């Protein structure tokens, strides 16, 4: 999620931006003829100020407090859009600060001086958009009074990430029996796991979780109880890895942008990593957090690559936990000229869509694009023996790397000769030269005996 400015819906909000005033706007939802439910838009600019400007249902304005708003309307609010993007007095991003508390007076300190706020008895959708790290503790405390919540979305555009850590040990798990969708975008991996672990009792079989992580410096996922629950049932995984520099207009001297996404067949769990590399530097996949015993039951993998050619070690880094694989479908899309796209030869780079992955022919093949597809299947009955004699993820990683090299170079790797080095024999080896003999005389024969390869189509 990129940086975004607050949208001014009314003159009141436009004026508020210049005066650092908190503004609440209540919008009737027309689906209800009698005593309509409400959508709340909350522009929060100063969390330390309790007064706010309320745009009432009759288009009037008055100064009030959040306690008054909630006492009058909490039972009618169906959705909330909380905008915390504008902090006129925000200090430097390198200065440690406390996370922003949600302005609903749900903390114990607030209860000490104020009466408990009424429950949001009909609230279904809660969206928080922030330029500053939001307190997950205050989010969980708010969820305790939202028993009908269906969708929760937290978007952080990461303008300020230097905050003091929070402890959630004393916060109990909210009960959300109707929760359908959880979306977190731009939070630290540890923060996401803490939130999901607290939501574990509310994650039903139909609940979908979508998480987007940014920058390779973030720590990898530890796969706590929530992710264990979500990933342990996956039988067919979808892995998409692409370079986003194929979008027309990319500058040659700009940083290279990459996206790697993983999801299951039903899109119940979607994990995406967005990061950049210096121009000319090979992408590093060490921060991809798919190393977990939760993937022990995954049997099939659909791998979609766009304008990238990962090495065997890159593939093994990502797939090393997929030890029960029996089938891998490889789809590789490359520019025919192997050069960045131009305005006359654009390439779509929508990393959040998996339609290309499920059906590469669904959108057609753009001009100048070459698409290859391979399918590798363990022969019937060979699975148990294969797991005994070989590291299955490493075996598939080596063969995928060789297949990609053959696609690009025409005839795969060549060992170095007496008069040439490995780099001269093949400029881009799929595996290091010192491992060629081991692969040729051990893994290649195992692969030939126990795995079938099929080429479905090439364009």
Buried b (16+ CB within 10 A) or exposed e, 409-432: eeebbeeeeeeeebeeebeebbbe
Q: What is the pLDDT of residues 378-390, one digit of tens each?
A: 988 888 888 888 9
Structure tokens that stand for 124 in this block: 């279904």
CB of 225 closer than 8 Å to CB of 195: no
229 DSSP 8-state letter: H
Q: According to the model, what pLDDT value does residue 121 have?
A: 92
Q: What is the pLDDT of residues 321-367, one digit of tens each?
A: 999 999 999 999 876 544 433 333 334 444 444 444 444 444 444 54
Q: According to the model, what pLDDT value does residue 286 have?
A: 86
Which residues have C-beta within 8 Å of that of residue 88, sequence separation ≥ 6? 20, 45
166 to 97, 219, 322, 459: CA distances (angstroms): 12, 17, 33, 53
CB of 342 closer than 8 Å to CB of 350: no
Q: How confident is the prediction for the chain on average, in pLDDT?
A: 78
pTM: 0.82
Kindly state the helix (H) or strand (E) to which residue 189 belongs, with its residue range.
helix 189-198
Q: According to the model, what pLDDT value does residue 321 have?
A: 94
Q: According to the model, what pLDDT value does residue 96 have?
A: 67
Q: According to the model, what pLDDT value does residue 81 have?
A: 96
Which residues have C-beta within 8 Å of that of residue 173, sequence separation ≥ 6? 198, 199, 200, 201, 202
What is the largest distance, in Å, between two alpha-carbon atoms of the chain?
87
DSSP result, 119-163? P-TT--EEEEEEEE-B-HHHHHHHHTT-TT--EEEEEEEEEE--B
CB of 43 closer than 8 Å to CB of 83: yes
Which residues have C-beta within 8 Å of that of residue 214, sequence separation ≥ 6? 158, 186, 273, 274, 275
What gap in Å lies between CA 36 and CA 30, rounded to an integer? 7
Q: What is the pLDDT of residues 92-148, one digit of tens each?
A: 555 667 788 888 864 444 444 455 666 899 999 999 998 888 889 999 999 999 999
Kindly state the helix (H) or strand (E) to which residue 386 belongs, with its residue range.
helix 383-389
Question: Is 116 strand, coil or helix?
Answer: coil
Q: According to the model, what pLDDT value does residue 214 have?
A: 87
| Strand 125-132 versus strand 23-28 pairing type | unpaired
Residues of the chain below pLDDT 50 = 1-9, 14, 16-18, 106-113, 248-249, 337-365, 367, 411-427, 457-459
409: left (phi over 0), alpha (psi -120 to 50) or beta: alpha
What gap in Å lies between CA 252 and CA 245, rounded to an integer? 9
Q: According to the model, what pLDDT value does residue 119 have?
A: 86
Residue whose C-alpha is closest to residue 73's, from 51, 56, 53: 56
**Main-chain dihedrals φ then ψ at residue 148, nearest 5 degrees:** -100, 10
């Amino acid at each position: 999620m990129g940086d975004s400015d607050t949208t001014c819906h009314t003159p009141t909000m436009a004026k508020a931006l210049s005066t650092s005033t908190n503004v609440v706007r209540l919008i009737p939802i027309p689906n209800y003829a009698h005593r309509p439910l409400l959508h709340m838009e909350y522009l929060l600019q100063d969390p330390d100020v309790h007064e706010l400007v309320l745009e009432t249902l009759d288009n009037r304005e008055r100064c009030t407090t959040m306690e008054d708003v909630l006492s009058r309307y909490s039972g009618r609010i169906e959705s909330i859009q909380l905008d915390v993007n504008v902090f006129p007095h925000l200090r430097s991003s390198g200065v440690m600060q406390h996370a922003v508390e949600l302005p609903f007076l749900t903390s114990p300190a607030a209860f000490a001086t104020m009466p408990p706020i009424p429950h949001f008895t009909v609230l279904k959708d809660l969206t928080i958009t922030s330029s500053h790290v939001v307190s997950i503790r205050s989010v969980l405390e708010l969820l305790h009074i939202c028993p009908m919540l269906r969708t929760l979305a937290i978007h952080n555009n990461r303008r300020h990430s230097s905050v003091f850590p929070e402890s959630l040990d004393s916060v109990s798990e909210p009960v959300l029996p109707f929760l359908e969708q959880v979306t977190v975008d731009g939070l630290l991996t540890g923060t996401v796991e803490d939130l999901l672990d607290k939501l574990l009792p509310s994650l039903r079989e139909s609940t979908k979780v979508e998480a987007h992580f940014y920058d390779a410096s973030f720590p990898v996922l530890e796969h706590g109880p929530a992710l264990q629950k979500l990933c342990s049932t996956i039988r067919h995984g979808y892995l998409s890895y692409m370079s986003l520099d194929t979008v027309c207009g990319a500058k040659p001297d700009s940083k290279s942008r990459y996206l790697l996404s993983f999801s299951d067949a039903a899109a119940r769990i979607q994990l995406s990593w967005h990061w950049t590399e210096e121009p000319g530097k090979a992408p590093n996949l060490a921060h991809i957090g798919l190393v977990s015993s939760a993937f022990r039951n995954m049997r099939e993998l659909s791998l979609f690559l766009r304008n990238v050619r990962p090495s065997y070690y890159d593939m093994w880094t990502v797939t090393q936990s997929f030890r029960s694989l029996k089938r891998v479908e490889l789809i590789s899309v490359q520019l025919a000229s192997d050069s960045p796209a131009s305005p006359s030869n654009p390439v779509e780079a929508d990393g959040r869509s998996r339609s290309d992955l499920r059906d590469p022919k669904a959108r057609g093949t753009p001009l100048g694009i070459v698409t290859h597809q391979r399918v590798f299947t363990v022969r019937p009955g060979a699975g148990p023996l294969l797991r005994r004699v070989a590291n299955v993820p490493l075996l598939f990683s080596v063969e995928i790397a060789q297949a990609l090299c053959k696609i690009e170079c025409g005839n795969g790797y060549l060992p170095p000769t007496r008069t040439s080095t490995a780099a001269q024999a093949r400029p881009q080896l799929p595996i290091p030269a010192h491992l060629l003999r081991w692969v040729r005389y051990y893994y290649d024969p195992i692969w030939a005996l126990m795995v079938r390869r099929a080429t479905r189509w090439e364009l």
